[in-house]
Amino acid sequence: MCSCCDKKSDLTLLDDVMDKYASVPGSLITILQKAQDIYGYLPLDVMYYIGEKTGNSPAKVMGVATFYTQFRTTPVGKNLIMLCQGTACHVNGAERILKTICEELNIQDGGTTEDGLFSLKTVACLGCCSLSPVMMINEDTYGSLTPEKTIAILREIRAKEANL
């Protein structure tokens, strides 16, 4: 079952992944990445299933899933905001941008808006130091952020979603 509700995950969606990687030594991270691509996060029942199929204990699978920041164990919003907190971003105002996002969307780091449109996660580094402060929203990178620019970006995404 999913860790956030009573819904069971469709484990058949993992069949191709498990057929290809379950018996390959050292493939646990790859399997978790592909599972997250399929489900959007790693539900508890999926992690148990991966452990069963790969011969790993549930504790090992969950340990890997919770150790690496790339993995999510709870559902995220349609637009995942990753805000860089690296040195360059910190020096150039990442805390102001974090405060702006939290106030604009009424969420905290690790949270998701009530409408499920945005989730916020601070990260150690996005590798875009020359663009600091910087955030990614899904696959798009936004740099040289100011509070005003950040608000405009978030409102533009919200407006586009409203018109879909």
Q: What is the pLDDT of residues 74-113, one digit of tens each?
A: 888 999 999 999 999 999 999 999 999 999 999 999 999 9
Residues whose CB falls within 8 Å of the CB of residue 2, separated by 6 or more in sequence, listed in order: 8, 9, 43, 44, 45
Q: What percent of the chain has pLDDT over 90?
A: 87
From the CA atom positions of the chain, what is the Rg in Å?
A: 18
Tokens of 159: 């407006």
Q: Which two tokens stand for residue 62?
A: 């969950």
Tokens, residue 58: 């549930």
Over the stretch 28-61, which tens digit does the pLDDT of each residue have?
Answer: 999 999 999 999 899 999 999 999 999 999 999 9
Domains and CATH numbers, the chain: 11-67 (1.10.10.1590), 79-162 (3.40.30.10)
